[in-house]
Structure 1
Amino acid sequence: MKLYIAEKPSLGRAIAEALPKPHKKQDGFIEAGDGSIVSWCVGHLLEQAEPEDYDPKYKKWLYDDLPIVPENWQFKAKAKTKKQLGVLTKLIKRAKIIVHAGDPDREGQLLVDEVLQHVGLSSSQKQNVQRLLVSDLNVDAVKRALTVIKSNQSFVPLSVSALARARADWLYGMNLTRAYTLTGQKAGYQGVLSVGRVQTPVLGLVVKRDNEIKAFVSKPFYEVFAHLHTEELQPLVAKWQPSEACLPYMDEEKRVLVKALAQNVATRVKGQPAEVVKLTKKPKKQSAPLPYNLSALQIDANKRYGMSAKQVLDVCQALYEKHKLITYPRSDNRYLPEAHFHESRQVLSAITNNNGCDKGKVENADLSIKSKCWNDKKVAAHHAIIPTSKKLKSAQLGQYEQQIYKLISIMYVAQFYPAYTYNETVAEISIAGGMFIAKAKQITNEGFKVLFGKERHNEGADSTFLPPLVEGQQLLCHDAQIQEKHTQPPQYYTDASLLAAMTGISRYVKDPEIKKILKETDGLGTEATRAGIIELLFKRGFLLREGKLIKSSDVGKTMINMLPEALTLPDRTALWESHLAKIANKECSYQNFMEPLITQIGEVISTAHLTENINFKGLAKPNNKRRFKKRRKNTAKT
């Protein structure tokens, strides 16, 4: 018997649809006409055992018991899905061929592998385990995937990498949460102070931003604009470019802080002749943005509709599993397999049918255009999130579902539109020894931007004009104007900007080697976990919402101030990801990753034991009494 094990029921049903009929639905599985059986997990059926599962003494949190490092790691069945684990156990023991159909990512690989390991396979079964990768739940796409099944042996290193990550997060989160919760208790704080490899640096980002805003003092700065005209009295305005001699009077952003200097320049140039000393005209081109990955979609949806990262992920799951209108949503990739290009006509037809984009704009799509998104070399386990060829028979989508579907659809349609092009003219003008610059932009083709409206235009994207100029041309500066502006504080985080910070975390790292690693990896967290990490920080009372703004609570601030700085920075994630990638590529062993980590955790626990923080005294724990006990059991989360 051939057994397909899907990651979740929706994928299981999609696989069954692609197998011969008739189908017989059973409790927890589907039997196909050819005798194959399709069953499924319901997410993770197993979870890491708790410290008290290894030894009852760990129910009480004590410094002396730390670090807790299991000699023989244990999984245990989740209570809510124990029945389905039982169904799979019986089916696995009967199966001659097992097809692993977890989601196409590191976590999806481990999710099914851990069930196979838990149940135990015979040697012949181990040799025959196959791997099915499905990213589109429509029947034709699943049938195509079934023709390219691979050996699961090829994915063992990926599974080991995922297992190393899960165990490392357990050791890190479980031990350091206990250590710093005990430190908080010494100061009279009664809440749980959870520490995680990802959640703590994310909280650190918010606390640092809040502190910068609190400490910010606005300063005035000054810009000088020369009002000129040609001999034919055609007007133009040019902005002063301070020279190196002005550096003592400027800030690090090269803004002039001394008003007298700006006044002196304005007085000196007013009424003086001017000369165009350099004129450059360049054609500029901007190609359509790549189709979405999850983070880019969450960022745009927050900006456009105010949706949280978690809301966007939930809507995407419904569009993927329930409606089958989009491909796998937890993707970190923005490229598409070249073979998908041949399905574009059907996808565009579905977009029109499902009101994903105006019919006229879809009809104007040029299928002879093949954007840079079609690139097999840049597609790994996932590809970009795009619409499928599924057509709805009637209006079945809710408001948020329709909004997200439209965002995904328009981004796909954009791949068949020409580039946005314009000519940029820059005139460098000398006035009384000072240098001024005037710029203009003439749009030559709106290209893909007609799909997005004004919100996708960069500032100043509309055409601006200069009179005809040539190098050496004489002008007259008939007036000069000083504009006083004020430096602005950083803005509080929103869901969009916090997600952008997590994906572009390398910007916040100084070490060039670590910066490089973070640029090459997913950043802080993964596409699948970022929304959950942000929500977790809210649930634990470390973050607060004020409208669209995200701020740190008093407990969150105090905790970050108490922790060693190394725990609050993203550097550790970069180092972990580097090692985990090497494990997946067979360049590093599991032991070489785990052993130094255990030593480091012991050193941090020693530091925690010696830490005193009176600032926790008097702070009330977050009002989440119903979740408090549950939180104690989930401290291993990232």
Structure 2
Amino acid sequence: MILYIAEKPSLGRAIAQGFSGQQQKNDGYIKLANGDCVTWCIGHLLEQAEPDKYDPAFAKWALQHLPIVPQDWILVPKKGTSKQLSVIKRLLKTATKVINAGDPDREGQLLVDEVITYCKVKRDIIDNAGRLLINDLNLNAVKKSLTNIRPNREFTGLSISALARSRADWLYGLNLTRAYTLLGQRGGYSGVLSVGRVQTPVLGLVVRRDAEIAQFESKPFYEVMATLATQIEQPPQTFNAKWQPSAACEPYQDEEGRVIVKRLAETVVNKTRGQPGVVESYTVKDKQSPPPLPYNLSALQIDAAKRFNLSPKAVLNVCQSLYERHQLITYPRSDSRYLPMEHFSEAPKVLSAIKANAPDQKTAVDNANSKLKSKAWNDSKVDAHHAIIPTSRSKAISSLSSDEAKIYQLIATQYIMQFYGPHKYQEQTAVITIAGGTFIAKAKATTDKGWLVLTKQGEPKHEPALPSLVKGQALDCIDSQLVEKQTSPPKHFTEATLLAAMTGIARYVQDASIKKILKDTDGLGTEATRASIIDLLFKRQFMQKSGKEIHATPTGKALVNALPSESTLPDMTAIWEANLDKISQRQMRYQDFMQPLVHTIGELIHASQRIDTSQFAGLASTKPAYKKKWRKKKKAC
């Protein structure tokens, strides 16, 4: 008997529908006509054991116990899952072959693998297990996937990576949460001070941004704009050019190259006004920008937050409904923005479905060219899963909720863009000398909107076109104006910009060598966890919202200020993410990741004993909903 183990009941039912013949629905599994069976997990059936499973003394939070590092890790059934775990265990006893049908990501891989191992399946069955990868729950897509089952051993690296992440999070979160909660109590704070491998650096981004804004002092800086006129044309054609300070001006500039001495700018104005100018160079370049790639989850969440003010968690929930319930989009927890070449032939069907589902998209689909192949189709960029796109299923958008309709249309529009040409434009650049100073004028003009017609702006704002110039041409500087501006502070994070910061964390890393490491594995957390991390920081009242802005609470600030910088900066965690990716690619061993991690945790706990605990005094000991869980399962932290 072949046993298919899906991640969720909805996926299990979709797999069963891919087989013909009479089927028998049982409690927790479906028996197929040929005797094979399809069963499912309910998300994670197993979880890391609580510390007291390793030693009863660990039930009490005490600094002398730290760090707690299991030698032999223990998994236990999650509450409410024992019944389904028993069903799978019973079916595995008679199975001659097992197919891992977890979701197509590292968590889905581990989720099923750990159940197979926990149930003590024979080694030869584990070695010969298959892997079923499904990105689309529609019947034709499922049938196609069933004909392409791969060896499960090809994904061992993915499973080990997920295992390393799970254990790293347990070690780091449990030990440092206990350490800092106990220190907080010493300082007079009675709440739980939760520390996480990813959540704490994210909180650190917010705390530092808040501090930067609070300490910011606006200062004036100065620019010079010249108004130039041609001499040949009648009437003369005019345009503006901006002064470019020379190297000699550096003593009068700030670190960003802005002139901060008003007298210097005034001198340039007086020297250039009414003086002749000469064109040093003039270029016209034809440029183009291709359509943006289809969405991965983070890119979709960022756009949805900007356009609809939807939280990342809300977007993920909507996507899960569109995927599982309505079957209108492909697998949503994807980190890929590319599509397999074999999917290109399905484009006409997908476009037709979009047109049928969403009448507002009719014109966009009618004007699409399904023969155009954008850079999104690239097999080398696709592995277990591909970009989030609409399926070929037809279902009226009127049957969806308001948020479901918004997200579906956002995904659909991004897909339709792949069948529009690039946005084409001309870029003019003129370099002009006036009284020994250099001025530059630039302008852009669209020649073909291409995919931009599908966006709300239709066309970006461009500078007025420059007149046609030639090198050496004489001009008149008919006016020169001093423009005074003020430096502005950075903006508070919003959910969209914080999510963008998590996916592009290299921008916040100072060390050049770390930036290089992060070039290809940029990001804090995963597509599936980033939304929950932001939500968790709100629930634990380390962050709060003011309108769209995110601010750190006094408790969040105190925690970040108490922790050593390496715990609150993205550098260390981002390197861990890069190493987890290496494990999944079989470029790093599990032990080479875990051993340094254990050593680091020990050092961080030792360093925590030197902090000033008085900073926790006077903080409000709030009792959010999660505290009940902490009190009930305090030893699990």
Is the pair's TM-score, using the shorter chain for normalization, greater than 0.5? yes
What is residue 540 of structure 1 aligned with on the other side? 540
Classify the secondary structure of the residue corresponding to 2:81. Answer: helix
Cα distance change, pair 316–626 in 1 and its aligned pair in 2 (3 A): closer
Structure 2 residue matching 1:561: 3-state secondary structure: helix
In 2, Cα distance between the equivalents of 1:85 and 1:128? 22
1:133 partner SS: coil
Q: 1:351 aligns with which of 345, 350, 354?
A: 354
CA contact 2:505–2:522 (8 Å) conserved in 1: no
Q: Which residue of 2 aligns with 1:289?
A: 292
1:551-576 Cα distance to aligned partner (Å, 9 max, x none): 10101111111111111112222332
Q: Give a deviation string over 1:393-428, Cα, whole Å, max 9, x none.
A: 572111111111111111111111110011111111
Please state if 1:181 is matched with 2:181.
Answer: yes
Q: Residue 323 of structure 1 aligns with which residue?
A: 326
- In structure 2, C-alpha distance between the alignment counterparts of 1:636 and 1:601, rounded to whole Å: 17
Task: Provide the C-alpha distance between the structure 2 equivalents of 1:83 and 1:120, rounded to a whole number of angstroms.
Answer: 17
Deviation at 1:300, TM superposition (A): 0.5
Task: Give distance in 1, aligned partners of 2:253 and 2:123.
Answer: 73
Once the 2 structures are TM-superposed, how far is the Cα of residue 334 of structure 1 from its aligned partner? Answer: 0.5
CA-based RMSD of the aligned residues comes to 1.7
Shift of 1:587: 3.7
AA at the equivalent of 1:388: T
Q: How far does the alpha carbon of each residue in 1:199-235 deviate from its partner, in whole angstroms, 9 at most, with x for none?
A: 1100011111000000000011111111122222222
Count, aligned residues:
634
How far has the Cα of 1:522 moved from its partner?
4.4
Instruction: For 2:284, give the aligned amino acid.
Output: K
AA partner of residue 39 (structure 2): S
Residue range with higher mean Cα deviation, 266-275 or 491-500: 266-275
**Equivalents in 1 of 2:547, 2:78: separation in Å?**
36
Shift of 1:592: 2.6
1:414–1:631 distance in 2 versus 1, CA, 3 Å: farther
State the partner residue of 1:624: 624
1:309 aligns to what? 312
Q: How far 1:127 moved relative to its partner?
A: 3.5
Q: In structure 2, what is the equivalent of residue 336 of structure 1?
A: 339
Question: Is 1:193–2:196 an aligned residue pair?
Answer: no
Which runs of structure 2 are paired with 1:361-376 in the superposition (5 Å)? 361-376=364-379
Identity %: 56
Q: Which residue of 2 aligns with 1:299?
A: 302
- Larger mean CA deviation between 244-253 and 200-209 belongs to 244-253
Cα distance, 1:35 vs structure 2? 1.9
User: Which letter maps to 1:99?
Assistant: I
> Cα distance, 1:271 vs. partner?
1.3
Structure 1, gaps ≥5 residues long: none
Q: Distance in 2 between matches of 1:626 and 1:419?
A: 49
Preserved CA contact (<8 Å) 2:417 2:451: yes
1:613 deviates by 2.4
Q: How does 1:71-82 map to 2 (within 5 A)?
A: 71-82=71-82
Using the alignment, how far apart are the partners of 2:415 and 2:362 within structure 1?
Answer: 14
1:553 aligns with 2:553: yes
State the match for 1:258 in structure 2.
Answer: 261
Task: Provide, for residues 44-64 of structure 1, a one-character-per-residue CA deviation record: whole Å limited to 9, x for no partner.
Answer: 011111112222221211011
Report the counterpart of residue 509 of structure 2 in structure 1: 509
User: Against the structure 1 CA distance between its residues 240 and 587, is the aligned structure 2 distance closer, same or farther, given a 3 Å change threshold?
Assistant: closer
Q: How does 1:383-398 map to 2 (within 5 A)?
A: 383-392=386-395, 395-398=398-401
Worse-superposed segment, 590-599 or 400-409: 590-599
Kindly provide the amino acid, as one letter, of the partner of residue 151 in structure 1.
Answer: P
Query: What is the CA distance between 1:635 and its match in structure 2?
Result: 9.1
Aligned equivalents of 1:563, 1:545: Cα separation in 2: 23
- Of 398, 402, 422, which residue of structure 1 is paired with 2:405? 402
Counterpart AA for 1:92: L
- Separation (CA, whole Å) in 2 of partners of 1:270 and 1:22: 89
1:238 matched to 2:241? The reply is: yes
**What TM-score comes out, normalization by structure 2 length?**
0.96
Matched residue of 2:53: which SS? helix
Q: Work out the CA distance in 2 between the residues paired with 1:585 and 1:524.
A: 18
User: Cα gap change, 1:541/1:393 in structure 2, threshold over 3 Å: closer, same or farther?
Assistant: closer
- Paired with 1:381 and 1:123, the residues of 2 have a C-alpha distance of 25
In structure 2, C-alpha distance between the alignment counterparts of 1:635 and 1:427, rounded to whole Å: 68
Q: Once the 2 structures are TM-superposed, how far is the Cα of residue 515 of structure 1 from its aligned partner?
A: 1.3
Does the 8 A contact of 2:221 with 2:487 survive in 1?
Answer: yes
Partner of 2:423: 420
Retained in 1: the 8 A contact 2:280–2:472? yes
Structure 2: gaps of 5 or more residues: none
Q: TM-score, normalised by structure 1?
A: 0.96
Secondary structure of the equivalent of 1:34? Answer: coil
Moved over 6 A (4+): 634-637
Aligned-pair CA distance for 1:13:
1.1
Q: Is the 8 A contact 1:277 1:430 kept in 2?
A: yes
